[in-house]
Chains A and B, each alone.
Chain A
Amino acid sequence: MRLVLALGLALLGPLVWGGDINPQRAQFNYQMSCQGCHAPDGSGANAVPRMRDQVGIFLASGAGREYLVRVPGSAVSALSDADLAEVLNWIVQEFAGASVTVPFEPYTPQEVGALRQHPLNEVMAYRAQLLADIASAK
C-alpha cells in the first residue's frame, strides 16, 4: 500500500514523500541536533554546508544517499535510528526542493541503523569526490 502511494505521488509530480513523519517531533529533533549549525531554514553558514535547495543532489546516487547518513552530524548524533530516519526524511521534504531529481524513497530506521555503523572520517574530501561523481554522471 505504501509503495503504491509512493508511486502514485511520484507519478503525480512531486518527487518527495517523506514517509510517516511526525512534523513536530522531526522539527524538534532537527532543532536540537542540526539547527545550531545548519540554521533554522537549512541555509547553513560559512563552512557549514547549505541543505536548502541542495541536499537532494546527494539522492541522485546510492553513495550519496548513504552519505547523508554516514556524515558525522547524522551518524554520531544522539538520535535513535528511528528519530534519525525521520529527521532525514523531514529535511528532504522541507529543504530539498527542486534539488531532488529522482523519486525519493524515505529512509527507514533499519537502513539508517546499518549505515551509521560506518561514519565517515575524511568528510570534506569524500564529499567533494561524491559531488564530482554525481555531476559527471549527468
Chain B
Amino acid sequence: MKLLDKLFEQQTRQLAQHSSRRGILKGLGTLLVGAGTIPLLPVARAAAADTPARPVEEGDEASCDYWRYCAIDGFLCSCCGGTKNTCPPGTEMSPVTWIGTCRNPADGRNYVISYNDCCGKSSCGACLCQRDEGDRPPYRPDKTNDINWCLGTASAAYHCSTAIVVGVAFEEK
C-alpha cells in the first residue's frame, strides 16, 4: 500500500511541477487559432483556382514601375483622372486591346494583363510610361503596342491606358 501511495504522490508532484494551468489555456488557444488558419492554407486556394484572380498587390499605380505596367506604352490613366482599371470621365474604353503577362512581386505569380486604351479625347500627356516588355514588331500585330489600340470605339483619339488583370498565366508543371 505504501508503495502505491508513494508512487502516486511522486507522479502527482511531478505533473504539478512540470505543467501549469495556463499551459492548458495556451494549448487550447493554439488549437483554436490553428483550426482557424487551416482554411487559409494553399489547399483551399487551389480549390478556388477557377475564381477570377484578385492578386495581392503592392506599389503605386500612378508610377511607371508599378508591376502591372511591365508591357505598357502610353499615358497612365491613374494620372489622368482614371485608375489602373477604369477610364477617366469623358473617355470610352476600347474593347480591342493588347494583352501580355506581368510578374506580381507581391506573390511571385504571372498574371495576364489587358492594356485597354481609353479613347475619345486627345492625349492625356501625364505619366508617359514605356516599358514595352514582350513588345513585338508590327508583323506580329497582336503583340505590338506601337499601333493605336483605339479600335472598336466611337473615336480613335488615344487618351491613356489602363492595365486590367484578366487572369493568371498558365504554367506547365
User: Which residues of A are in contact with B by a Cβ distance under 8 Å?
Assistant: 24-25, 27-29, 31-33, 35-37, 39-40, 45-46, 48, 73, 77-78
Contacts of A36 in B (CB 8 A): 96-99, 114, 142
If A36-B96, A37-B96, A46-B152 touch, whether A27 touches B142 (CB-CB below 8 Å) is no
Contacts of A28 in B (CB 8 A): 112, 167-170
The secondary-structure label for the interface of chain A is helix
A-B CB proximity, top 8 nearest: A45-B152, A28-B170, A45-B95, A46-B152, A25-B170, A36-B99, A31-B112, A36-B97
The contact sample of 28 A-B pairs, CB cut-off 8 A, is: A24-B170, A25-B170, A25-B172, A27-B167, A27-B170, A28-B168, A28-B170, A29-B170, A31-B112, A31-B166, A31-B167, A32-B100, A32-B112, A36-B97, A36-B98, A36-B99, A36-B114, A36-B142, A37-B151, A39-B95, A39-B96, A40-B166, A45-B96, A45-B151, A46-B96, A73-B142, A77-B142, A78-B140
Complex formed: what's the CA distance from A45 to B95 in Å?
7
Known: A29-B170, A48-B96. 4 other contacts (CB 8 A): A28-B112, A31-B99, A32-B99, A73-B142
Shortest CB-to-CB span from A55 to chain B, Å, is 18
Are A35 and B152 interface neighbours, CB within 8 A? no
Complex formed: what's the CA distance from A85 to B169 in Å?
19
Interface size bucket, B side? 20 to 34
Are A48 and B152 interface neighbours, CB within 8 A? yes
Contacts of A45 in B (CB 8 A): 95-96, 151-152
Complex formed: what's the CA distance from A35 to B115 in Å?
12
Contacts of A48 in B (CB 8 A): 96, 152
Complex formed: what's the CA distance from A46 to B155 in Å?
13
Interface 1/0s, chain B 53-90, versus A by CB < 8 A? 00000000000000000000000000000000000000
Contacts of A27 in B (CB 8 A): 167, 170
Smallest Cβ-Cβ distance to A27: which chain B residue: B167
